[in-house]
Structure 1
Amino acid sequence: MVHTWDPQRYLTYADERGRPFVELVARVGAEAPRTVVDLGCGPGNLTALLAARWPGARVVGLDSSREMVEAARRDVAGVDFEQADLREWLDTGGEAVDVLVSNATLQWVPGHLDLLPTLLDRVRPGGWLAVQVPGNFDQPSHTLRTELAAEAPYAEHTRDAAVPSSHDPATYLDALARLGAQVDAWETTYLHVLTGEDPVFTWVSATGARPTLQALPDDLRPGFEDELRRRLREAYPPGPAGVVLPFRRVFVVAHKPAPSSEAAR
């Protein structure tokens, strides 16, 4: 089932969504890469940080969403943005890159653990692969949507909607280490303090819940949204600081060793 993305809605909490990207890329040790690729670049606001860090590199942002790519091309200079599906980009082969970043994208690719060898193959020897995925799919922000979507009259419409998933840091570390990479993997749980009316609904409706919402017919969507808002308000009541959304993120940075001088002879 095809769904679309809304760049403006996605950017509602741009600072909160951007912090994991910054912390991920900070662990990439590349000094002067020639080519940097951002797989799943979204509206390009974070890809711009790659161009700022490595001004001598050709920076490319790829996203399957036409809406995201159009927004990126309009708002971000100094980056080449292309509309492309991640799996299709991998299948086409092509020149290897020095830094390959995938931030909050692989969770939408079923069986993405099997893609790690191909992702690492697209990195030059001595290059870097950096991946970040959400790891909070056991939290009410996701489980409440899943439970409601399984109820009548919604289930018949939502059963094929895309649902994100990911693995623990140790799983990614083991998979990439077996491929010969030097791996740094970790997790962080952020406590996002959100404001506004039904802020958790605003957050999830831009990302994890969006495919489910778009799968519903127009006559059912308002009722689903109202009930999901109600359940999320109960799960995330306001406190002294505001509405707190705990958000676990999983990070992995893999350095592909360069051939030793002896091996290269």
Structure 2
Amino acid sequence: MPAPVWDPAQYLRHAGHRARPFADLLARVPELPGDPPRIADLGCGPGNVTVFLADRWPTAHITGYDNSPEMLDKAAVDHEGPTPGGGRLDFAHADARTWTPDEPYDLIISNATLQWVPGHAERFPDWVTALKPGATFAFQVPGNFPAPSHQLMRELAHSARWKDRLADTLRHDDAVLSPEAYLEKLTGLGCTADVWETTYIHLLQGEDPVLDWVKGTGLRPVLTVLADDPRAREDFLSEYRAALREAYPAGPHGTPFPFRRIFAVATREA
């Protein structure tokens, strides 16, 4: 299956809701050992939350890594260059499936990326090894794969009409580990780990807002596979839209969209 093609504009339509988990993760990251610190944002997307790192550590040299040319182009145009505090923000191509740091870091952080990387916990040793003493590896991943938004998507992709084209396209509910499993992995690498989960109740606005949300993330593999067949694409979206409307009915003030996320902050012993 082809790699998903990303649409920065679609992704950023819900930028406020998507940024909140990163801010909550960042609030639990301790002070960093280096001055100025060296930071990697793995899976930086369009860079809209990478800039939060420069707010927290103004003198840092921060590199956002991503494997999407579309996302990297958007990030570079909007955010690359010197930062107000005397640091620097730049962006580079890297794939989290294979990225191995070639220098020591004070912080390696990843926001809603590792769920796209099969076996991502097996990459943790390389990343923790690249941390300076007292440095931190932090990430958050969605934990909502059993939710209707994803379950309905998978069921439709495996239905009689779509299974020949889409059955192997979507991630499954084992795309992320349990919080307990992440805790075990990280402490086993000699880190002091803080792992937790939160369910946000996003109040989305507009027509079919849950569909609009997943068009920016979880639905990208389907949209990529069907990109050369506009009629099939619209047929799939029509079926999926109807199912989402039933699963997530609009209320008087918007459409409530529960979204569970898993967080981890692991600090290497000084």
TM-score range (shorter-chain normalised) is over 0.9
Other structure's SS at 2:30 match? coil
For residues 51 and 12 of structure 2, what CA distance do their matches in structure 1 show? 14
Match 2:73 to one of 58, 70, 74: 70
Q: How far apart are residue 213 of structure 1 and its match? A: 2.3
Measure the CA separation in 2 of the matches of 1:241 and 1:197: 12
Which runs of 5 or more residues in structure 1 are unaligned?
259-265
Output the TM-score relative to the length of structure 1: 0.93
Report how many aligned residue pairs link the two structures: 256
Asked whether the equivalents of residues 176 and 183 of structure 1 are also in contact (C-alpha less than 8 Å), the reply is yes
User: Does the 8 A contact of 2:206 with 2:254 survive in 1?
Assistant: no
In structure 2, C-alpha distance between the alignment counterparts of 1:144 and 1:170, rounded to whole Å = 27
* Match status 1:233 vs 2:245: yes
Shift of 1:238: 1.0
- 1:160: how far off? 2.9
Contact 1:185 1:252 in 2 (8 A): yes
Question: Residue in 2 aligned with 1:177?
Answer: 187
Contact 2:193–2:267 under 8 Å retained in 1: yes
CA RMSD of aligned residues (A): 1.3
User: Does residue 88 of structure 1 match 2:98?
Assistant: yes
Confirm or deny that 1:161 pairs with 2:169.
Answer: yes
Give how far 1:22 is off: 0.4
How far is the alpha carbon of 1:162 from its aligned partner?
Answer: 4.3
Are the aligned partners of 1:154 and 1:220 in contact in 2 as well (CA < 8 Å)?
A: no
Task: Choose 156-165 or 47-56, whichever is displaced more.
Answer: 156-165
- Of residues 141, 144, 156 in structure 1, which corresponds to 2:152? 144
Partner residue, 2:16: 15
Runs (4+) of structure 1 exceeding 6 A deviation are: none
Pair 1:105 & 2:113 matched: yes
- CA drift at 1:18: 0.2
Q: Which runs of 5+ in 2 are unaligned?
A: 83-88
TM-fit CA distance, 1:163: 1.5
Residues 180-231 of structure 1 deviation map (CA, whole Å, 9 limit, x = unaligned): 1000000000000001110000001110111022212333111000110110
- Identify the residue that residue 207 of structure 2 maps to in structure 1: 197
Name 2:43's counterpart in structure 1.
40
Q: Which amino acid aligns with 2:210?
A: V
**Aligned to 1:232, what secondary structure does the other structure show?**
helix
Q: 1:38·1:102 contact (CA, 8 Å) conserved in 2?
A: yes
- 1:129 maps to 137
Do structure 1's residue 256 and structure 2's residue 253 form an aligned pair? no
Which stretch has the larger CA shift, 129-138 or 48-57? 48-57
Number of the residue aligned with 2:28: 27
Alpha carbons 1:44, 1:72 under 8 Å: kept: yes
Give the TM-score normalised by the residue count of structure 2.
0.91
Distance 1:66 1:30 in 2: 32
Greater CA drift, 103-112 or 210-219: 210-219
Rounded Cα–Cα distance in structure 2 between residues aligned with 1:153 and 1:168:
33
